[in-house]
Amino acid sequence: LAEQPASSPGVWNRTDHRPLEGFILAMTPFNFTAIAGNLPTAPALCGNTVVWKPSEKQALAAHFTMEVLRAAGLPDGVINLVHGDGAEISEACFDHPDFAGLHFTGSLNVFRGLWGQIGKRIATYRTFPRIVGETGGKDFLVAHPSADVDQLTTALVRGAFEYQGQKCSAASRAYIPRSLWRDLEEPLVAATASLTMGDPADFSTFMGAVIDEGAFRRHAQAIAMAHEDTATSVIAGGTTDDRQGWFVQPTIVRSDDPRHHLMETELFGPILTVHVYDDAEWEHTLDLVDSTSPYALTGAVFATDRLAIDRAMHRLRNAAGNFYINDKPTGAVVGQQPFGGARASGTNDKAGSALNLLRWISPRSVKETLDPPTDHTYPHMWE
C-alpha cells in the first residue's frame, strides 16, 4: 500500500487509499479465534467501520477479542460486535443502502445464499459491495511412490486430526500408491490409535471434542455409513462417545472407490478417507485429485522425485489455493502463506496478506501538474 505510481517531470502522481463508502459486515466461524478477529479488523485497518457477527458457538472468545482490541486503543463504533441470529443480522445489513462489503468465513451454502441476497438488492446500494468469502475444502494429500513413509505418516496424522479435523484446511482425503501402502498402513493406524483425547486444557491431550451435538451426529452417521458400505472399510478408530462431551475417535476409512462421497464431501471432523492407487496410475490419480471435489482450498504432494513434484505442481495448479510440498496441508502462517482458495472454496482473496487489504479500499488516483500549460496548441502545430 505504500507503493506510489511513477511521476514524470512537472507532474506529481499519487494514490489515495480511501476506505469504502459504507460499512462492512464480517461473519466469522467458530473454529479459529484468530480468524474471527481477522475478518473485522482487516477492513477496520483500512478505515472502514464494521458490523461483526461471530458464530454463536464462539461468543465468549469474540467478547474477549473485543476486549483486547479496546485495550489496544480501538475507538468505539469502529468494530461493532453484534450477537444474534445470522439471517436477521445479515438481512438488516443488506437492506441498508450504505452496505459496502461482506467478509465471510463459513459454509458454502450459506455464502452462496448471502451472495444471492446481495445480488437481489444490488441496485439499492450506493456502491457495488465487495464480497470476500472463504467457505470450505475437501483437502487432499497425494503421495508419489518416492515419498518417505515416516514423513507421510506424521503429515497425515497431524493434517487430518489436529483440532479434531475442524479446519477448512484439514487433510480429509489421501491418495497412496500401493507399493507405499504396504509400509504405511501399520504405522499410520498405530499412530492414529495412540492419539490421546480429553480436556484441551490438559496439554498432554492431542484432541478434544467436536464443537457440538450437530457435528457429533453428522460424524457418527458418516462413520456408520463407512462401516456398512461394501466399498469402504474402517481401518482405524470408528467409534464415538457422547457420555460427557462430543468425542469422535480419529477415524481412517479406506475406499476402493476414488469418487466415493467420503472422498468428495467436506465432513469437518476427524475422518480421513484413503484411496490406494496402482503405482503406474500416477497421472490418472492427479486427474482424480483435481476433479473429484468441487473445492480447491488446500492440498499437498509428498515425493522425493523432483520430476513428480513438478508434474503435480503443474497438474494440480488450480486444485488448491494453498499447495504444500512434503508438508501437511494445514497451518498457514500469516505473512508467510497467504490463505484462500477458489472454485467452491471461496473468492481466494488471501487472508493474512496485503491482497486481502486491497479489497477494503477504494483507490483514488491523483495527478497534480506543477507547471500547467498556458497554450492550447501542440508542438507539432508550431511550424
Residues 272 and 354 in one domain: no
Helices (H), 272-377: 282-292, 306-315, 354-357
Residues 155 and 180 in one domain: yes
pLDDT digits (tens, 9 = 90+) for 112-126: 999 999 999 999 999
Residues 168 and 286 in one domain: yes
Contact between residue 177 and residue 279 where contact means Cβ atoms under 8 Å apart? yes
Residues 57 and 99 in one domain: yes
* CATH code of residue 44: 3.40.605.10
Residues 90 and 220 in one domain: no
Rounded mean pLDDT, 130-148: 98
* CATH code of residue 176: 3.40.309.10
Residue 383 pLDDT more than 80?
Answer: no
Please identify every residue annotated as catalytic: 134, 168
Label residue 379 by pLDDT band (50, 70, 90). confident
Label residue 19 by pLDDT band (50, 70, 90). very high
Residue 1 pLDDT more than 90?
Answer: no
Any domain includes 65 = yes
Any domain includes 4 = no
Measure the CA–CA gap between 380 and 229, rounded to whole angstroms: 82
Label residue 334 by pLDDT band (50, 70, 90). confident
Host domain of residue 263: 139-325
Rounded mean pLDDT, 152-179: 98
Residue 382 pLDDT more than 90?
Answer: no
- What integer pLDDT is reported at residue 61 of this predicted model? 96
Residues 295 and 351 in one domain: no
Any domain includes 375 = no
Label residue 34 by pLDDT band (50, 70, 90). confident
pLDDT digits (tens, 9 = 90+) for 274-311: 999 999 999 999 999 999 999 999 999 999 999 999 99
Contact between residue 209 and residue 230 where contact means Cβ atoms under 8 Å apart? no
Residues 215 and 195 in one domain: yes
Sequence-separated contacts (24+) of 376-380 with Cβ below 8 Å: none
Residues 159 and 68 in one domain: no
Any domain includes 298 = yes
Residues 309 and 362 in one domain: no
- What integer pLDDT is reported at residue 285 of this predicted model? 98
Complete DSSP assignment for 130-145 = EEEEE----EEEEE-T
Label residue 74 by pLDDT band (50, 70, 90). very high
Any domain includes 32 = yes
Any domain includes 290 = yes
Number of domains in the chain: 2
Residues 45 and 122 in one domain: yes
Residue 32 pLDDT more than 90?
Answer: no
Residues 67 and 162 in one domain: no
Residues 296 and 362 in one domain: no
